[in-house]
Structure 1
């Protein structure tokens, strides 16, 4: 009998590799299971590329299964060679602890913890950290042959340029994780990105070799998310799109999804949102018939911003977007202006009163005094959302927000931030 959850994952394009597709389907049809996904704390925030396996784990929770969220306090100190051409920079224990705290907070935004099948959060430093080198070599080092490990893609791809024993041992340590969760939490499935296949299958090998009975453990990988043109997903003009509001503000986060190409928007809805199939297919029709309305992009941006940052942050992101579109900057608070304009062109100017014409020419808003007078007279210049039409107007302290900056708009969409020094 087909399993509804697995069929939904296939429709969403979330199944790439499975170790035993039929066995897992039979297992899911018989009982609710515990399954896990791990995240190494290489930074104090995850970015949107990290969350696809986690969102997939959340889908299992919605179907009654229990998610185990592993934060790699130990493996984060080692470094996963998967998908990398060079060794990771080792982090201090203090930095790892800080990163773990940041990632835990973000996981709490995605998962339910207080339900009957509430998520469990674990840190592999709790069992790896106390393992001595002798215990590691005696109890686990004997389980895998070097040839077996060399054949794994994440190791084989690094042999030419070199790989340290530290990173070479990573897959075995992750195998210990799966075995520990299998023994102590009844965990039967590990989910990971497509680059984790070697680590996941190593975990299954450790389980197989440390148990006499026929094991019932499985591995699933999620395909790498790409854009329709084949380029890497998850980057904006400012770099990675982070879940931490201090690194990528809710407004920037919202705008990232709003700017999704028509060719990608339905694919991303399937992968990232928890919307029902009928809702997504209805929006797919609007992409084909009314692409100029960008309804699907708006829904995608709303769903994702609400999920990661909450309703209040979504409301703020929409308010900023509407104010920028209409040019009504007076509707924004000073902090919202900072957020909205932090990536626009800027110019530094000494704090002193200046005639509006001199002001916009010096700042490079208008190319010449003649053009500047024409722009002001025609009502094309606004300071912080207030239109200036008097060529004798003096730009003074009153026009500086927090005595630090002024937002100048020329025409409908040309903005510049003047920073005062």
Structure 2
């Protein structure tokens, strides 16, 4: 099955330019597509996964992919979806992030053979541009009136849009032009919020090079209420296991809304369409079985089969009531030298030190709401203490935060 057919079957297409022309283009040979990722954080997150998986499907269909790291465009900042100007990072930080992104993307895409996939950084050409020659050659192809109608720009006009950010669309468009000339890249993939920026690049290629160029967007990862998926009370759901442990990643998908299960199974698994539809049709208690499958498949995709199996086993032990002893849960460690002197330590303090809570006020609110337990005993006071000796035991202390978040609190060795 071809790329477009697979993407349509799995609900992974949002918009496509020149669809009939693109189908003929793909049928006539191996084609190159790219997707860009600006290193504006230390890790990719769940929201990045759909474009990544779009590239994966493209490569599985026998075509070549380019992962474009935005070492140059990240110095400008994309205004899309932002209510304020993004905080700028220095070039050294952006470069380090780009290298980390490259490692994170390797499990999804085959980079071993350059004929199948490569990684590039747009800093390599954008930083070499000379301002006036660039304006004279490319600025004439962009209408300010049209740029102002782009949603990414229009939504920011009321709050204020810097001239720096206003340049982003032109730079992204130039990326497509450059990749078309240097790598014979004819397709750009991206999230649907990038549509306006992507059209600029496609039109630039068609106008200056008189060559075929296409845009394909994927749906944004949103809930049925239209809220972006990939956010929790702790923040983003990261791909980096040091920021979001595989168990927490598993639990995120285990706890999604019932009506999102089928859609996410199409996105984050390779299960056959018939099996996805069967699982998505389950209702009431049985939908939990489908969620476990989804959580396992998504975790396997990102962290590998071993981590996915460990997370599934850990979750089963926790939510089966821990029969046969204390259930296993991801460890949260606290360093002995960080503890105050004495045999007792404040529960609030130690949970913040272990990273289970981001702040003392957050811990106190949960305690006041009756949502914190230690070894299945509810913590009823914000001034409660815990014996340090319990942290030194092999089994540690089982912390239940809310209904479904568990950690084993231990002293670091």
TM over 0.5: yes
Q: 1:57 to 1:397 in 2, by over 3 A?
A: closer
Give the deviation of 1:418 after TM superposition.
7.4
Match of 2:256 in 1: 260
Name structure 1 gaps, 5 residues minimum: 342-347, 355-362, 368-379, 385-394
Give the deviation of 1:250 after TM superposition.
0.5
1:132-171 matches, cutoff 5 A? 132-171=130-169
1:99-138 matches, cutoff 5 A? 99-114=97-112, 117-138=115-136
Matched, 1:296 2:287: no
Give the deviation of 1:196 after TM superposition.
0.6
Cα distance in 2, alignment partners of residues 186 and 24 from structure 1: 15
Match of 2:391 in 1: 400
Matched, 1:274 2:270: yes
Cα-to-partner distance string for 1:283-327 (whole Å, 9 max, x where unaligned): 234x14x74362221111111111111122223312322332342
Matched, 1:40 2:38: yes
Cα distance in 2, alignment partners of residues 131 and 266 from structure 1: 46
Cα distance in 2, alignment partners of residues 396 and 324 from structure 1: 24
Cα distance in 1, alignment partners of residues 342 and 10 from structure 2: 55
Q: 1:257 to 1:199 in 2, by over 3 A?
A: same
SS in 1 for 2:212: coil
Q: 1:282 to 1:16 in 2, by over 3 A?
A: same
Cα distance in 2, alignment partners of residues 204 and 65 from structure 1: 19
1:19-38 matches, cutoff 5 A? 19-38=17-36
Match of 2:301 in 1: 307
Equivalent residues of 1:174, 1:199 under 8 A apart: yes
Cα-to-partner distance string for 1:100-125 (whole Å, 9 max, x where unaligned): 12211111121122358522100001
Q: 1:402 to 1:246 in 2, by over 3 A?
A: farther
Equivalent residues of 1:194, 1:224 under 8 A apart: yes
Q: 1:46 to 1:146 in 2, by over 3 A?
A: same
Match of 1:216 in 2: 212
RMSD, aligned CA: 3.4
Equivalent residues of 1:44, 1:101 under 8 A apart: no
Equivalent residues of 1:61, 1:117 under 8 A apart: no
1:246-395 matches, cutoff 5 A? 246-285=242-281, 287-288=282-283, 291-292=285-286, 294-325=288-319, 326-327=321-322, 332=328, 336-338=330-332, 351-352=342-343, 382=375
Segment drifting more, 109-118 vs 19-28: 109-118
From 42, 67, 70, the equivalent of 1:69 is 67
Number of corresponding residues: 372
Q: 1:110 to 1:401 in 2, by over 3 A?
A: farther
Of the two, which has the highest radius of gyration?
1
Cα-to-partner distance string for 1:361-385 (whole Å, 9 max, x where unaligned): xx99xx9xxxxxxxxxxxx99599x
Matched, 1:56 2:54: yes
Q: 1:174 to 1:198 in 2, by over 3 A?
A: same
Give the deviation of 1:419 after TM superposition.
8.4
The TM-score, its normalising length taken from structure 2, stands at 0.80
Cα distance in 1, alignment partners of residues 156 and 60 from structure 2: 39
Q: 1:77 to 1:133 in 2, by over 3 A?
A: same
